[in-house]
Amino acid sequence: MNVMHIISAKTWGGGETAALSMCKTLQRNGYGVYAVLDGNEKVLRSKFADIGFVKHIKMRWGNLWTCIRELRSLIRDNNIKVIHTHTGRVIPIIIIAMIGLPVKIIAYRHNAIKNKKDIIHRLIYKRIDAFVCVSNFVKSCQEFDMPEWMKEKFYVVYNGVTDNPDAHVVLEKKTNRDDFVIGYAGRIVENKGLLYLVKAFEKISGNNSVLKIAGDDSTEYADKVKQYIEERKIDKVEWLGYVKDMKGFYKKIDVMVCPSIVREAFGLSACEAMYYGVPVISSNNGAQVEIIDDGVNGMLVDSGSIDGLVLALEKLKDDYAKRVKIGMDGRIKIKTCFTMSKWLENMKNVYADILK
C-alpha cells in the first residue's frame, strides 16, 4: 500500500523525529512511502533523504491552487491510499485537495492540547478518518468535552524507538564504576527544565560526579544556564553540543535525566535511553508515567522539584547494582511496548479500520 506523510515544520523536534521513524519503518516493511515537506526545506530534506519519494510543497493559502494541484497529482498518480498529517495547520488544504479521491486521512496528535470546538473545526474533524494520539495522556486532552461521534475516531498508537539488533546494553559493561555520570539529551529550551537539573547537580556534585549535556547549546536558554554555572562555579559540567552518536553518549553516562516542566505528550528520549539499558529519572507531568513505572524500571519526580531530582540521583549515585537493575527492567519495558515494530503492529489495525 502507498502512504503519504505530510510534515510541516520550521524546526526539528519530537514530532518530526517520530514522523521520520514512521516513514522509515513503513518503507522497510514494504510500503510505498511518499513524504511531502513544508517549512524548513534544508533541514527537512536532509533528514528525509533516505525516504523513497520526497517533495517540497509550500502549504499556504496564498499558494492554494498550486498546492492543491500538486497534491492531487501525487495522490492520483501514485495511488495513495492513506495520508498521515503531522500538524493541524495543513489539514484544511489537504481536505480540499482530496475531494473526489478515494484516500483516507489520519491526523496525528503529537501535542497535549484540546481540540477546538468551533463550527469550522467540527466540519474539518468530520472529514478526518482517524485521529492518532501518541499517548493516552494526549488522548485524554483531546477527548475533553468531545462529542461521541468524534471519540470513535480516536486511537492511541505509541511512538517508539527503532528496533536495533546491535543495541547492546551499555550500562552493565561500563568499566569505570567509581564515577557517576549524569546525562541530559534534548532541546535546550526553558520548558525542558535543564536549569532544575543543573541546580540538583550542584547539590550532589562531588569529585566523582559529572554532568554531560547533549543538544544544541546555541540557544538563549543555554546561555542562561551557562551563566548560572559560571556564577556558581559549578565544576564538571560538559557541553557536548549536537551529538550524532547517541549510543556512544549512552555508554558514557550512568543515568539519564529528563527534567521537563512542560506536560510531555510522549518521551522519546527517555525511551531511547531505556532501550540501551540506562536508568531514567523523569518528571511526572505527562505521558512519562505511561512509560516509566516509578521505582521499577525508572524513577519519577514532581515537575520542577529540585529536591526530588536530588533524592532520586542520590538513590542511584552509590548503588551500581540498583542502576543496572532499573536499566535492565527499563529495557524490557521498551522492547515490549515502545518499539517501531510495535508501532507498525498497532498502525496496521488503524489502517484496517479506516480502509474496510
- Average pLDDT over the chain, rounded to whole? 92
pLDDT of 197 > 70? The answer is yes
Q: How confident is the model at residue 174 (pLDDT cuts 50, 70, 90)?
A: low
117 or 196, greater pLDDT: 196
pLDDT score, position 39: 86
- Greater model confidence, 324 or 176: 324
Nearest to 13 by CA among 32, 34, 39: 39
Question: What was the pLDDT predicted at 173?
Answer: 56
Instruction: Please give the grid coordinates belonging to residue 131.
Output: 485521529
- Tell me the residue type at 243: V
Q: Percent of the chain having pLDDT more than 70?
A: 96
pTM: 0.90
Do 2-162+339-355 and 171-337 agree at the fold level? yes
> Does the structure show a pLDDT above 90 at 329?
yes
Going across the sheet that includes 2-9, the strands are: 53-56, 32-39, 2-9, 80-85, 104-109, 130-133, 154-156
pLDDT tens for 36-60 read 999 888 889 889 999 989 999 999 8
Q: Give 214-245 pLDDT, tens digit per residue.
A: 999 999 999 999 999 999 999 999 999 999 88
Mean pLDDT lowest among 73-87, 144-158, 250-264, 309-323: 144-158
**Which of 201-205, 212-216, 349-353 is the least confident region?**
201-205
Q: Does the pLDDT of residue 291 top 90, yes or no?
A: yes
| Residue range 171-337 in CATH 3.20.20.70 | no
Looking at residue 117, its pLDDT comes to 75
List the domain boundaries for the chain: 2-162+339-355, 171-337
Which residues lie below 8 Å from residue 299, measured CB to CB, with a gap of 6+?
279, 280, 281, 282, 292, 312, 315, 316, 326
Question: Of residues 289 and 40, which shows the higher confidence score?
Answer: 289
Query: Does residue 175 have a pLDDT over 60?
Result: no
Residue pair 328/169 in contact by the 8 Å Cβ criterion: yes
Residue 122 confidence (pLDDT) above 90: no
Coil, helix or strand at residue 75: helix
The pLDDT, as a whole number, for residue 148 is 86
Q: Write down the pLDDT at residue 345.
A: 97
Residue 62: DSSP 8-state: G
Mean pLDDT of 76-83: 96
Give the per-residue pLDDT at 115: 79
Confidence of residue 168 (pLDDT cuts 50, 70, 90): low
Per-residue pLDDT at 5 exceeds 90: yes
For residues 172 and 174, what is the distance between their CA atoms, to the nearest angstrom? 6
Residue 262 has pLDDT above 70, yes or no: yes
For residue 171, the model assigns a pLDDT of: 59
Q: Which CATH architecture does the domain made up of 2-162+339-355 adopt?
A: 3-Layer(aba) Sandwich (3.40)
pLDDT band at 64 (very low <50, low <70, confident <90, very high): very high
